[in-house]
Structure 1
Amino acid sequence: MDESTNESAFAPHATWLPMKYPRHGGFRTHVEPVSPDAGTVLREAVETNDEYVRWTTRYLDADPDPSPLALAARDYRAGTHTPVGAAVFAFLLGRFLNHHEVPHTVFVDGWVARHGLVFATEALMEYSDTKFVYVTVPVSELPPDTMIMVSRIGHTDDSVPVELPRYVQQERLAQSDSTDEQIRYSAREEVLDRMRGLLAVASDQEYAAARDAVAPLRTNTVRQLTASYLFPTEKDWSRQLISGADAPHYHWISQLITSSNSAAELKRIAAPYGQESWIRDDATVAAVVEGVGTELTPMLTELLDAPERYRYVQDDAIPMRLLQALSAIPSDDAFSALAARSSMKGALPAVVHAMRHYPRRAMRLLAGQNLSLFDRHVRQNPELAIEMAPTLPETEQRRITELTAEVPEATDLPEILVNPPWTRKHKANPPNVFPGIATPDIRKIEWLPGEREELQNSRREYYTWETFKRSYVPDTNPATVRDFVAQYIFVLAPDDVARPLLTDWPGTTLKEPLRVVARFELDALPMMLRFARAHPGAAAPYLMPYVDIDVARLQATAFATRKNLRKPALAWLVRHADDAAALLVPDALGKPGKQRDHATTALRALARATSRETVLGATTKYGQDEVDAIAAIVDLDPLEVLPKRIPKIPEWVDTPTLPTVLTADRSAKLPVSAMNQMLTMCAISTVDAPYAGLDLAAAHCDRRSLGTAVWAVFERWWGNGAPSKENWSILALGWLGDTPP
């Protein structure tokens, strides 16, 4: 199959579409069609608006010597329609238009609805360089009834005569070739973008007619800039404009970049502002790829490989944008450059995009260059691989034979891989509730041997209380004490100063809260609980010595709901095992709800970390029914211990193209569904509590092939930007991995 005819089309990314800067006959775009009523809307909203019309009177009716431009606008208003008249009339009305209420695009749509696309394009060309200029006029030449107002500044003596000026500045309509006016965020930008969109979706005949009408109107630089933006397909226009300019036009930089048609043009435009000027957003990159084409590849690779290039917030986004651009270009050089950078963090979506749109090119170029991607591509396209095998090197031919060989699917899989608990509907048994159990009155602090003394002597203070107070504490009012000052008050100040802050200070953070705990012990507990509720992630160290029902509930909730807090929460449970069990048993037997769920999860973890008897021992004083209920909680089949929500396997895993996982005797392969179940087990596991079914599932697999597949999952996770919510991909290497291939 001839690649030049089958894989020569560009492959724009979904994030680029619809195109913001479209070209006629180019990438897909969406442009709102002109309403048939647009002419009526223009007339009623703008042209007959009393306020707008009143402002134009000065230029169209009050001038005794109107310019040809003013006369053309008068004629358009009166019904003699010319592009110049339409342009000047719109310019005058638009000067006072409230664009928050009526966008300036109302003129473009109105022109198209009334007169057609060709007329509207000509009118916009005339509009592009219409402006007000100021001319110096002798006062002696002004009409006799002209009013001149003179302001005197700094004079207090009214007897000093006022001297009239000999000349004044008058505002005149003109068409002027000035490129120094702001385009971005202006009315001109609005109408230019709208017209470019309408031309992009016009029929070939309409487009050609509009282009032919515009060609003779390119009489100055502003008009050439306008024409090149409206008709970016006209390569001669852009080449003459950009190559012939002494320097790129700053205010038109965005329009020039999105209309460039060669690498030379793009480099010349961006040179004064840095090549990064066109990679700030997807829309601009898309327009550049469409316009410059395959010539863009060396520029993209240069930008990707430049050391320390990106020093701003979008550091990660810009390399990904460059990789996306490479993946949309239908050339061997672009694909090879992309494949060579496939190990970059976040690069894989771009690589997969190119592989999907250029499968033959990918099969040919990945051979011998990237074994992992080549294997994935063969698994994705086995028929194509077999067809192209004779054209590939002998090593790749053998590899294709291996990968496309028929391997039977395993049929004697364990239940955990076929019908795991989360796929079955469970009829929930009503929980055993014992509402009368009272929470034991346990409130104490327990230090490890030497722990408190170590905290009290952890460092020698630079200040004494008196020296610190003199320099930093003008007032010990709790409402005004800052965090920095509060820390020193709690550590250095006498009790009569420090103790009131334990209850009255509103702060929620301290630099060294454990030192405060070491000094005040249980008296500091209410404040520490307030800290913990405000900042649970930082609470573990300073709550560790406390034993209290509120602390127990906080630790149970942390263990049950926060993966990053499971380890310190379990450490508290184990440190105070007997008391923790006694405090949480009443909650575990209480009414259904979050508090019960968190307590049961914590008790199961405590039983695993210590012993079953530790938890059951805290229940014996209540009665046999309560003991049996806690035993049922602790003895719950580990396979049935599941999170509230079972996560979905992300699309980037692409399980069907993972390396084949064989059964332990290597006689069959795991079905895709079974591999998905194993990955789900990883996703519901935590670093300290892997799902119980993992070992059962792994025991049925050949560990070498399983390790290879898990390594591929990790590579894809990294290649897709290493999303933190799927960091189980790293942990899976430890649970299921072998040596990387």
Structure 2
Amino acid sequence: MTEVVGSDTFVVPSAWKRFVLPRRGAAPAAPRPGAAGVKAVEELLTAFDGDVRSALRHRLIAGDLAEAGHAYLAGGPAVTPLGAAVVARGVAGVLPWSRRDELTAFADFWRVRHGLAFAAAATVELAGFHLGSSPSDSAITRAVPDADANGFAARTAIRMAYQLRRAVVAAPPGEYAAAVTALGAARGPSLSQRALVSVIAPDETVWADEICGGLVAMGGREALKGLLLTVVSADPLASRLAGQLSPWAVLAEKERIYTFTATLGPAAVPALTGWLDAAVTDAQDRRKLLGLLAAVGGEAALTALIERAGKPDVPAALADAAGRDPALALRLFAETPSADRLLHRHLANHRPLADQVRPHLSGAAAARFDTAHAVLRAADTGTASLEDLPPILVSPPWLTPVARQRLVVTGLISDDPVRVAWAPGEREAWAAGSWAARHGGAHDWAAVAGKLGTSASNGWDEIDLFLRGPDELTLPRVAARRPSHHYDVADWGAELLARYGAEAVPPLADVARRAPAAAARLLAPAAGPEIAMLMAGWLARVRSVRPVALAWFARHTAVAARALVPVAVGRAGQARADAEGALRVLAAAGYGGEVRAAAGEFGPEAAASVEEILAVDPLTVLPVPVPALPDWANPAVMPPIRLTGDRGLLPVESVRHVLTMLALSRTDTPYPGLAVVTAECEAADLAESAWALFTEWREAGHPAKQNWALDALGPLGDDETVRRLAPVIRAWPGEGGHTRAVAGLDVLAAIGTDVALMYLHGIAQKVKFRALRERAGEKIAELAAELGLTAEELADRLVPDLGLDATGSLVLDYGRRTFTVGFDEQLKPFVADTTGKRLKALPKPGAQDDPVLAPEAYQRFTALKKDVRAIAADQVRRLEQAMVTRRRWTGATFRQFLTGHPLLRHLVRRLVWVRLDAAGRRPAPGRGRHSRRRHRRDRHPGRHRAGRDRPPLGPRRRSGRLVRALRRLRDHAAVRSAGPRCRAAHRGACGRIRRAYGAQYRPTGPGTARLAARQPTGRRRAGLVRA
């Protein structure tokens, strides 16, 4: 192919220009020195004049430096760049580290007082000094000549050099020549100084080649080499320099990487990919480098991205680069054998380019292109007629919006006072915080109070004052306080509200307004007009706080309605939109009566206006603007969606409307039109399309504005969605995605199937990221509270039966043959044929098996294994915890959720249980039989009435009974499971068990031991019955 589709022309992005250091001939006008900087230096010289003069008399200062410094302070024609640098170094020696950035103003000061050439030379001289890490290290001494660009040069002189470069390269010829002459005079033996000279005057190629070539030939000195990225302009020197740098040195300053990339353009691609592939490149640096490659574009950059398409964060950068030059991307995708999916997706987004690109392809590339094009054309066939579709899928309301005339009622206000309504025990729990224990100390409370509102006030002492200080100092001040930060607000905020009640609401509301994710929960007991509008705004716009807002409205319905009505019927604006939305949410949740009653309190006009608000068709309640679909959410590349009843496929344009509905939805409030979609379309296809959309979103880099792609899994997902999503949620916090992971928990709760809740409970029980585990636990607690259960009781009900029959088995029908699924003592599924013989694995469907039943059965067993794997460890751990805590079940719940559960019965029958009467007496250890009856010590039927508590029996207090139970289990040849764990405090009991059962006793970890039984031959088996 001779003609190239696309362009390699590189245009520096406008966002880079403030960081790109220019060169002579292409520089904008020289920036003028800032008057503020000049004044700041004058103040520094005045404030530290005595310190500088003292430093010039220091015994370690060289004579020429002291002389130059004194001459500069004296003024007159004898001042030199060296003297100016000595004085600046003297100021730096006594300036705190936190203020050393102020020293960059010396560049402007010198330009104004002495000219550009002087300023440039003085900056280079300044880079030659040593500066210690302590302000007390005030001796002015020269740095080691061949040292790296660390310390003072790296922190201050380099920033000044960047600033002066913009002025030098834009200077008129005469001024530029003078600057070059001054720089030549200052260019001494120090590597830092010579590098800085080339940074300021990069067009002096002799100097640039000398310092760059010299440093490349040396080892180490990575900081200096990184600085020279702003100097090199061509290969091979640029490639040699880049090859010696790690990503951290390259990306330490934006000026370095942007100047290097802007100067070389597409020629920078090999260097960028080298840094990208480096083993030490972390996720943050990787994303930066990928963004640079996408911005450079061109064939080399696109090819590099295509080659790495399967690596993290690359798909988003590739989509960005392809969007900049779609024709070139289309050709390259077609020419890459492994890019069929990319080709299909990109062609779907740019179908008008097909005729332009196709003539430039041949051979295999042309064949791949034609195949992708044919697939897209085929998607246009077999679709349902528009007449057979509901109106929402043909002409949704956002295509033809209708302006509504609203009845406006002004002059209304809600005068409800701020109040705090505590739930039983809530105030006491909030007051019993740990702030005082962790932060408390002795204070002079009067002194702390006297500093409030001044620069001398300490934020932590201020909080401590209001939590522990005397009422006479705090009560008059608490309502007016506005905390300066929200660190640990969950701790101190709760205690503050518990102590002061309504008086603490204004400061907490102020914190919550600035940091809703951290402080919104603290307003749960508080109610008032301001709080209601805060909650309405969060309900509409702050995803992370929506659950808090919904719970608040349910808790304070009447107060909320009275606060919202005046705003909802008032003048148009964001506040009215928020209030209207909140009123509709209240009405939809069953509080329409309270809303109408509140409206009636404000008169008939307000009541009529509220009726209009509530009567609006929910399908027409749309945000302004309606969210646009991103390129990656292309309906043409979504899996096909079948209509129910074999009525054909959903047309592409209707799929686009479905995606828009998803963009309008939230996890807890889906767009009402989705109910029509789920009724009209096959559920499995919707779930698969939702997962495809979610995958595209992940590959696009999880853009926060389109996180509705994650929410979409809630209303459309199924159990297979859960199995795919749960591992992603578990991994996200380790990838910097804690917020996404928490949103994923909401999605699992929204899917709401037994399998979804099982995986949610599993995350609450065991995930290595504590914050995610705690948030999942909160979700489980919320669900339990809604059902009036404890978390443990809910956990009993969250174990799915996985479609097993009453005996805990499953028959897989292949048509010609059948297989039975059973479970061993560790809940590992096995397969047996019709003769009862266990098979190593379930056979794959063969040619003689039923073509429909066999694949379905095979997939069902595959899903079953995944689910059981997720269940087993959690249930074993849960039952062991029940043993340790002596949890009890009533007879009814024991039979319903344990021995009667098709899956758990396989574990329960291997446990030793004790039956207690209402008074907690007469333990009768036993275990569940395979027949679901129990071995028991006393078989008298009158002593086993329903309703008696049954805890699992452990070694504590009843080791003798446990020993006898285990002997009976031995006599009955019970199937052995993973063995009991005997805590360190009960090793005596374990010893008696060992002697009774002929078992080996071996430690398995700190403070625990495991009993492992031996067969008569001495072979070790899995262990004893867990007790």
Instruction: Pick which of 623-632 and 547-556 moved more.
Output: 623-632
Residue 450 of structure 2 corresponds to 477
Structure 1 residues 344 and 494, CA gap change in structure 2 (3 angstroms): same
* Percent identical: 23
Contact residue 9 and residue 298 of structure 2 kept, 8 A? yes
SS at match of 1:517: helix
Structure 1 residues 539 and 609, CA gap change in structure 2 (3 angstroms): farther
Residue 391 of structure 1 corresponds to 364
Residue 151 of structure 1 corresponds to none
1:734 equivalent among 714, 719, 732: 714
Correspondence 1:582 to 2:556: no
- Segments of structure 1 that go 5 or more residues without pairing to the other structure are 24-29, 35-54, 56-92, 112-122, 135-177, 193-220, 230-237
1:723 equivalent among 678, 703, 716: 703
Scaled by the length of structure 2, what TM-score is found?
A: 0.46
1:616 equivalent among 596, 599, 608: 596
- Return the alpha-carbon distance in structure 1 between the equivalents of residues 684 and 286 of structure 2: 38
Contact residue 335 and residue 362 of structure 1 kept, 8 A? no
Residue 477 of structure 2 corresponds to 501
Letter in 1 for 2:463: Q
Q: Please report how far the alpha carbon of residue 180 of structure 1 lies from its aligned counterpart in structure 2 after TM superposition.
A: 3.5
Q: Please report how far the alpha carbon of residue 429 of structure 1 lies from its aligned counterpart in structure 2 after TM superposition.
A: 1.7
Residue 570 of structure 1 corresponds to 550
Contact residue 27 and residue 170 of structure 2 kept, 8 A? no
Residue 345 of structure 2 corresponds to 376
Structure 1 residues 251 and 129, CA gap change in structure 2 (3 angstroms): farther
Structure 1 residues 388 and 668, CA gap change in structure 2 (3 angstroms): farther
Structure 1 residues 478 and 555, CA gap change in structure 2 (3 angstroms): farther
- Return the alpha-carbon distance in structure 1 between the equivalents of residues 268 and 410 of structure 2: 74
Structure 1 residues 251 and 387, CA gap change in structure 2 (3 angstroms): closer
- Return the alpha-carbon distance in structure 1 between the equivalents of residues 571 and 559 of structure 2: 21
Contact residue 578 and residue 615 of structure 1 kept, 8 A? yes
Instruction: Pick which of 453-462 and 607-616 moved more.
Output: 453-462
1:357 equivalent among 311, 320, 328: 328
Contact residue 473 and residue 485 of structure 1 kept, 8 A? no
Structure 1 residues 341 and 386, CA gap change in structure 2 (3 angstroms): farther
1:417 equivalent among 381, 393, 416: 393
- Return the alpha-carbon distance in structure 2 between the equivalents of residues 545 and 386 of structure 1: 69
SS at match of 2:546: helix
- Return the alpha-carbon distance in structure 2 between the equivalents of residues 362 and 485 of structure 1: 62
Structure 1 residues 345 and 468, CA gap change in structure 2 (3 angstroms): farther
- Give the total of aligned pairs: 565
Residue 930 of structure 2 corresponds to none
Residue 454 of structure 1 corresponds to 429
- Return the alpha-carbon distance in structure 1 between the equivalents of residues 572 and 170 of structure 2: 60
Residue 670 of structure 2 corresponds to 690
Contact residue 652 and residue 716 of structure 1 kept, 8 A? yes
Aligned ranges 1:162-561 → 2 under 5 Å = 180=194, 182-186=196-200, 188-189=201-202, 222=206, 225=209, 253-254=228-229, 257-261=232-236, 265-270=237-242, 273-274=245-246, 280-285=256-261, 287-288=263-264, 290-291=266-267, 296=270, 301-310=273-282, 316-322=287-293, 328-330=298-300, 334=304, 337-341=307-311, 344=314, 346-349=316-319, 352=322, 356-365=327-336, 367=337, 369-377=338-346, 379=348, 380=350, 391=364, 401-405=374-378, 407-408=380-381, 410-412=385-387, 413-431=389-407, 433=409, 435=411, 439=414, 441=416, 443-459=418-434, 461-462=436-437, 468-469=442-443, 474-477=447-450, 479=452, 482-503=458-479, 505-507=481-483, 511-533=491-513, 535-561=515-541
SS at match of 1:447: coil
User: What are the Cα deviations for residues 564-598 of structure 1, in whole angstroms up to 9, with x where unaligned?
Assistant: 43321221110122332234334434455554443
Q: Please report how far the alpha carbon of residue 487 of structure 1 lies from its aligned counterpart in structure 2 after TM superposition.
A: 3.1
Aligned ranges 1:17-96 → 2 under 5 Å = 95=117
Contact residue 21 and residue 283 of structure 1 kept, 8 A? yes
Structure 1 residues 283 and 340, CA gap change in structure 2 (3 angstroms): farther
- Return the alpha-carbon distance in structure 1 between the equivalents of residues 551 and 694 of structure 2: 30
Letter in 1 for 2:706: E
Q: Please report how far the alpha carbon of residue 563 of structure 1 lies from its aligned counterpart in structure 2 after TM superposition.
A: 3.7
Residue 84 of structure 1 corresponds to none
Letter in 1 for 2:233: T
User: What are the Cα deviations for residues 365-405 of structure 1, in whole angstroms up to 9, with x where unaligned?
Assistant: 2x4x3553243245456667899797379999877654442
- Return the alpha-carbon distance in structure 2 between the equivalents of residues 17 and 513 of structure 1: 41
Letter in 2 for 1:667: G
Contact residue 478 and residue 504 of structure 1 kept, 8 A? no
Q: Please report how far the alpha carbon of residue 614 of structure 1 lies from its aligned counterpart in structure 2 after TM superposition.
A: 3.1
SS at match of 1:650: coil
Letter in 2 for 1:281: I
Q: Please report how far the alpha carbon of residue 276 of structure 1 lies from its aligned counterpart in structure 2 after TM superposition.
A: 6.6
Contact residue 260 and residue 268 of structure 2 kept, 8 A? no
SS at match of 2:275: helix
Q: Please report how far the alpha carbon of residue 701 of structure 1 lies from its aligned counterpart in structure 2 after TM superposition.
A: 4.2
Contact residue 11 and residue 330 of structure 1 kept, 8 A? no
- Return the alpha-carbon distance in structure 2 between the equivalents of residues 495 and 307 of structure 1: 59
Structure 1 residues 464 and 657, CA gap change in structure 2 (3 angstroms): closer
RMSD: 5.2
Contact residue 225 and residue 256 of structure 1 kept, 8 A? no
Residue 88 of structure 1 corresponds to none
- Return the alpha-carbon distance in structure 2 between the equivalents of residues 706 and 464 of structure 1: 53
- Return the alpha-carbon distance in structure 2 between the equivalents of residues 689 and 251 of structure 1: 51
Contact residue 398 and residue 626 of structure 2 kept, 8 A? yes
Letter in 2 for 1:682: L
Q: Please report how far the alpha carbon of residue 357 of structure 1 lies from its aligned counterpart in structure 2 after TM superposition.
A: 0.9
- Return the alpha-carbon distance in structure 2 between the equivalents of residues 18 and 521 of structure 1: 51
Q: Please report how far the alpha carbon of residue 128 of structure 1 lies from its aligned counterpart in structure 2 after TM superposition.
A: 8.2
Letter in 1 for 2:281: R
Structure 1 residues 427 and 243, CA gap change in structure 2 (3 angstroms): closer
Residue 927 of structure 2 corresponds to none
Scaled by the length of structure 1, what TM-score is found?
A: 0.61
- Segments of structure 2 that go 5 or more residues without pairing to the other structure are 30-76, 78-114, 121-163, 187-191, 725-1027
Structure 1 residues 388 and 623, CA gap change in structure 2 (3 angstroms): same
SS at match of 1:476: helix
Structure 1 residues 656 and 579, CA gap change in structure 2 (3 angstroms): same
Q: Please report how far the alpha carbon of residue 515 of structure 1 lies from its aligned counterpart in structure 2 after TM superposition.
A: 1.5
- Return the alpha-carbon distance in structure 2 between the equivalents of residues 350 and 246 of structure 1: 38
Contact residue 517 and residue 545 of structure 2 kept, 8 A? yes
Structure 1 residues 404 and 703, CA gap change in structure 2 (3 angstroms): farther
Aligned ranges 1:147-162 → 2 under 5 Å = none
Aligned ranges 1:572-651 → 2 under 5 Å = 572-590=552-570, 592-619=572-599, 626-651=606-631
Residue 104 of structure 2 corresponds to none
Residue 51 of structure 2 corresponds to none
- Return the alpha-carbon distance in structure 1 between the equivalents of residues 659 and 581 of structure 2: 23
Structure 1 residues 292 and 315, CA gap change in structure 2 (3 angstroms): closer
Contact residue 386 and residue 400 of structure 1 kept, 8 A? no
Q: Please report how far the alpha carbon of residue 181 of structure 1 lies from its aligned counterpart in structure 2 after TM superposition.
A: 6.5
